[in-house]
A and B are shown apart, each in its own frame.
Chain A
């Protein structure tokens, strides 16, 4: 057999017993030959955001090997041996090869997490024609959720792998099986069924705002929907932060905090100002608790790049630098996790939950804009934020100071958040071009600020190095990094005016006008 055909799965009706064999309903001339029986454990992996599934991959570990299957055909394309029983792993820890490349193409920063373990009892057969030629292989499989005390199979199925050139016979077999004993599934459907049985929902998480706001609803309702969404993102990421799975959990958690603050701060007059100030304060403090931890994450993610910046003579001492970073990260992580477990945090959650889900209309005296249309607030706030970016951008001097760029970056972020909050009340074709234009400017400013922050961090580190021979080399490598980062920072600085000019352009302005004139 050479070309692998699409595998076919038949989910057996309850009436069909697990020992039952389809031989008696086969078209005449066909017979079954028993091969073997065995039990195997299959462990499925994907990232928190289902990035492999998104790319059409299913990652499964069985018999100490990791396989990559095609979601549509079920065909196992690549495999590699993976000893142990990791609860999660990163693509860059795998040995080089096609499987690693495929997983890296999904993500390099997110971990692949074990989704579930399934035990399968398998009986395998060959289907022979009247020449005793194999025309397909058939396996009868009973699937159990592993680690259950009293295991009951959640599905019995036949999987049929037709051999090339026997399509006509296969149609007859398939018809006989699906008429009498069950329903035909493809691999994708089977995968969804397994995930469902294991209590996993595909695409149950995305940090992107996927709300469908009502443009004519009062703004306080829409704002609450947004707050509930950002709150759900925070909650969804807590467990991954505590389990220390990958850095994206904390990152998404922080973005949710920033978005929450942005909603409270930018939608003026929608909520009670006193309450708003109170919660803004709490969220600012919560954000602060994570700043240093996130910084450490960023440096650790940049590890390879940093080594790359330095000549090989200076690289060894950089290891020391990263050992320190990793140690600080461990300490900060522990600290933040114990805060997440604290009663203070728990009561904050409860309080905030009650606020975000409060149903009553805010007091019109204390929140005068609460009942305005979502679309009018959306349009007004975006317009204001956009004008502010343009105004501040134009004021930036030829020297393009750090302070100026830092401030403009924040203005851009505010605008970006508003565009994301209200994107559902505008036609997609008007929001996307605007966001694309803004993104270019944000990328320039983001790079600039990142380089600047890293530069400062390294400088502080440099000043804290005690004298000594080993420390001298460390100081030299940090100096080397600073020089490189400085250069990169200056490059982005020199590109700023050009990037801004292309944003502050008639075309962009037309795009904003188009957007703001078309709420649904």
Chain B
């Protein structure tokens, strides 16, 4: 099992869209795949039209393995399942703090899923909390979507500083640019600046109105409009991610 976190301190950077499309592509080419919606706003659950069972909440999530397993739901796509988010996740941090080893909790809770899934994607909440740290420990790769703006780059630097200060494995962090508008000079310049940065994925995701319409289709863009520019970009990004994961095996 390989685990991939889609993470950003900042919201609205195309994190969920990436998680949804990459997990869909993974289910096509390296099945089976699970996507865990860890954001209490539940955007990826929404994209797949899934709501958690009434009985499901953060308690169950913290109990791990079997409790989690029972709440996984099939998406409409073969070989792709989803663990829906619940509004109670907003308290996960407080609850996690009461656990004995909060940082190792997530990894431990998901252990048994390895028998079932080849790839697990985490769609994370846009904040830096104990839960985020637990995710950092559990993930093999932390994909960080960045809009090519100075503000966005600043959040990335904050993240790498945080890793350094807390002695975390910063080699897991793999940024990539999203919502790229080639017509904007600042976008072009920033991308150019990071062109040769070794930890960056080279594929960028263009700003595309079709991506925003995913909220209307409520399905992965790659499933509805596989020929669109953004879909092709996600496809290339997935190939890059896959070869990165295979190399690191």
> Which stretch of B66-74, B93-101, B204-212 is in the interface?
B66-74
Contact B51 A165 (CB under 8 A): no
Please tell me which stretch of A130-138, A275-283, A335-343 contacts chain B, meaning at least 4 of its Cβ atoms lie within 8 angstroms of it: A130-138
Find the B residue at minimum CB distance from A164: B74
What number of B residues sit within 8 Å (CB to CB) of A?
24
Q: Are A134 and B76 touching (Cβ within 8 A)?
A: yes
Interface pair B72/A165, CB less than 8 Å apart:
yes
- Interfacial chain A residues near B78, Cβ < 8 Å: 1-2
Q: Are A3 and B74 in contact (CB under 8 A)?
A: yes
- Point out the residue from B32, B73, B116 that lies within 8 Å of A163, measured CB to CB: B73
Partner of A1, one of B49, B75, B116, B218: B75
Q: A1-B74, A2-B74 are in contact. Are A131 and B51 (CB under 8 A)?
A: yes
In the complex, the answer to whether A2 meets B32 with C-beta atoms within 8 Å is yes
Question: Is B50 an interface position by the 8 A CB rule?
Answer: yes
The verdict on B102 contacting chain A, using a C-beta distance below 8 Å, is no
Interface residues of A in 132-147 (CB under 8 A from B): 132-134
Contact of A131 with B49 in the complex, beta carbons under 8 Å? yes
- Name the residue in A2, A3, A163, A168 with the highest tally of chain B Cβ atoms < 10 Å from its Cβ: A2
The contact string, 1 if C-beta is below 8 Å from chain B, for chain A 162-191, is 011110100000000000000000000000
Q: Is the CB of A1 within 8 A of B79?
A: yes
The residue in B76, B79, B218 that gathers the most chain A C-beta atoms within 10 A of its C-beta is B76
Instruction: State which residues 142-166 of A face B: CB under 8 Å.
Output: 163-166
- CB-CB < 8 A to A131: which residues of B? 49-51, 218
- Residue B53 CB within 8 A of the other chain: yes
The answer to whether B53 touches A1 (Cβ under 8 A) is: no
* Contact status A2-B71, CB under 8 Å: no
Residues of B within 8 A of A133 (CB): 48-50, 76
Other-chain contact of A168, B50, B53, B76 (Cβ < 8 Å): B53
Q: Across chains A and B, which 3 residue pairs bring their CB atoms closest together, nearest first?
A: A165-B73, A133-B49, A1-B74
- Contacts from A to B (Cβ < 8 Å): 1-3, 129, 131-134, 163-166, 168
Q: Could you jot down 8 A-B contacts, CB within 8 Å?
A: A1-B75, A1-B80, A131-B49, A131-B51, A134-B76, A164-B81, A165-B53, A166-B74
For the A-B complex with A2-B78, A165-B72 known, give 14 more contacts whose Cβ atoms are closer than 8 Å: A1-B80, A2-B116, A2-B117, A3-B74, A131-B50, A131-B218, A132-B218, A134-B76, A163-B74, A164-B72, A164-B81, A165-B53, A165-B71, A165-B73
